[in-house]
Amino acid sequence: MVIADRERGGGRNRGRTLLWAGLPRLLSGVLLVLLAQAGCSQLPEPRRSLIVISMDTLRADRLGAYGYARSTSPNIDALAARGARFARAHSPAPWTLPSHASIFTGLTPQRHATHSWGDKIPSSVPTLAELLRGAGWRTFGHTTGGFVSGRYGFARGFEEYVDELSGFKMTLNAARRKIESLPEGEPYFLFLQTFTVHCPYPASSAHRATFRRQPESVVIEMASPCTVRPLESNFSEAQKKLFSDRYDAAIRSADEKLADFVEFLDRRGEFKDTYLVLLSDHGDEFGEHDGIFHGHTLYEELLHVPLIIVGPGVEPSVIEEQVGLVDLMQTALDLLQVDIEAGEGRSLTRYLGGDFPSSAPARAPVAYFASTEEGTKLRGVSLGDDKLILDLETGQAQLFDLGTDPGEKRDIAAERPSTRDRLRRVLDRHLERTDLGEGGGQALSPEQIEELEALGYVH
């Protein structure tokens, strides 16, 4: 059953249900559930389950699996070795609300328009939980609130959605109880989110001592250090390094808690028919670009995030191609064999080997970035190693070559004007799209794909 068509390229099943974000708002919510239910009868048995764990604020380069030298993540590394690790996964935004909105909808911030403190995911946009519940999955969310609270639209589609501040261990224990309570063979979608590696970086005193490199004389005396503005703090370099050490300790603490949960899943044989996706919504800065924490820039320390998929049929591998959190929606639907297309992202199942078709990518490995927290007006685009960051207020464009300058220390916009202008054109076309908060919009048109192909960015 097809309600709207669009250009998606090869490698996709014909005749699957397409949910187009441009569908009239009043109809889409009802139709998507009906359509999902219609498709449900053709699903293979047994249907598989999905657990998504968002470790909020976890930057990729602080994990051993992503090359970090300190032993912050032996258990996450072991988990990554069992499945697909995406080496170059990007968040579309450097803070919680727009990034999670993209995870839940498969849309970039430009489209879901949930990128200011007062925004909410538009009711016209289907969420992953909504689609899966409509297709017969049990759906549960357990988060620590804040910008993933139900008031932002994240609870839509969940039978139960907890959004209370709690520790990671409590969250994982609640997840255990939920899994144990479900009848065997009943497929579920479980979304877990934790602020456990977010400032103030909770960790045991032993872990803090292990990871501390700053002398005892370096202290942070403020009562609420996490509330300072990222670009206006007066923290010394030594204090920023102390935060960084505490961050590492918090990751190690979280890693151990996660290990217990994975062991629980293993004991139950859960991975036989359950996928586990581990990701983060953004990173954290410790002075790399003169700021601290997140939400304020589009540099890699805030946008490069871990993305790991483990489960039946997923072969151990490292995928070097650029992918985005915006791809999770379609990937999840394809993993669970729910025959619906939704969002702007592309399915990443083609990279998983094993049981999955590995046709050539149908979409350009393009990542678009946006930042509006703290009043910044930044937008960005990344194509391969080239990355452009545009300040909409000043018109200033910075260009970086991530291949030779992964730390983004050297702006080469003036040296490579043709690359700069090419990325600017790609970004401008992206920004022309109408956001759904204003009642409509569409994914890439055939003309836009053609233009990208002409630029060499579409496979």
Least spacing, CB of residue 198 vs Zn ion, in Å? 7
Least spacing, CB of residue 187 vs Zn ion, in Å? 28
- Residues 144 and 170 sit within 8 Å (Cβ to Cβ): no
Residues 420-459 that bind Zn ion (CB under 5 A): none
DSSP 8-state symbol, 206: H
Give how far Cα 215 sits from Cα of 35, 144, 245, 449, Å. Answer: 61, 33, 11, 55
Among 17, 49, 72, 96, binds Zn ion (CB under 5 A): 96
Residue sitting closest to Zn ion (CB): 96
- Name the residue nearer to Zn ion (CB basis): 56 or 327: 56
Instruction: For 456, list phi and psi in degrees, rounded to 5.
Output: 90, 20
Per-residue binder mask for Zn ion (CB under 5 A), 255-284, x = binder: --------------------------x---
Render the burial of 68-96: b for 16+ CB within 10 Å, e for the rest: bebebbebbbebbebbbbbbbbbbbbbbb
Cα separation, 287 vs 230, in Å, equals 10
Nearest to 135 by CA among 275, 339, 287: 339
- Name the residue nearer to Zn ion (CB basis): 281 or 288: 281
Cα separation, 151 vs 351, in Å, equals 35
Nearest to 292 by CA among 283, 279, 305: 283
Cα separation, 29 vs 125, in Å, equals 8
- Name the residue nearer to Zn ion (CB basis): 23 or 148: 148
Number of residues that bind Zn ion (CB under 5 A): 3
Instruction: Tell me which residue has tokens 């260009």.
Output: 399
Residues 393-422 that bind Zn ion (CB under 5 A): none
Residue 142 identity (one-letter amino acid): H
| Helix (H), strand (E) at residue 341 | strand 340-342
105 is an interface residue for Zn ion by CB under 5 A: no
Nearest to 248 by CA among 191, 297, 203: 203
Least spacing, CB of residue 391 vs Zn ion, in Å? 23
- Name the residue nearer to Zn ion (CB basis): 56 or 386: 56
Least spacing, CB of residue 176 vs Zn ion, in Å? 24
- Name the residue nearer to Zn ion (CB basis): 96 or 372: 96
Of the ranges 10-18, 56-64, 112-120, 423-431, which one interacts with Zn ion (CB under 5 A)? Answer: 56-64
Least spacing, CB of residue 104 vs Zn ion, in Å? 13
Of the ranges 92-100, 203-211, 310-318, 423-431, which one interacts with Zn ion (CB under 5 A)? Answer: 92-100
Instruction: Tell me which residue has tokens 């003309």.
Output: 447
Of the ranges 32-40, 89-97, 117-125, 126-134, which one interacts with Zn ion (CB under 5 A)? Answer: 89-97
Among 39, 49, 56, 297, binds Zn ion (CB under 5 A): 56
- Name the residue nearer to Zn ion (CB basis): 281 or 408: 281
- Name the residue nearer to Zn ion (CB basis): 31 or 325: 325
Residues that bind Zn ion (CB under 5 A): 56, 96, 281
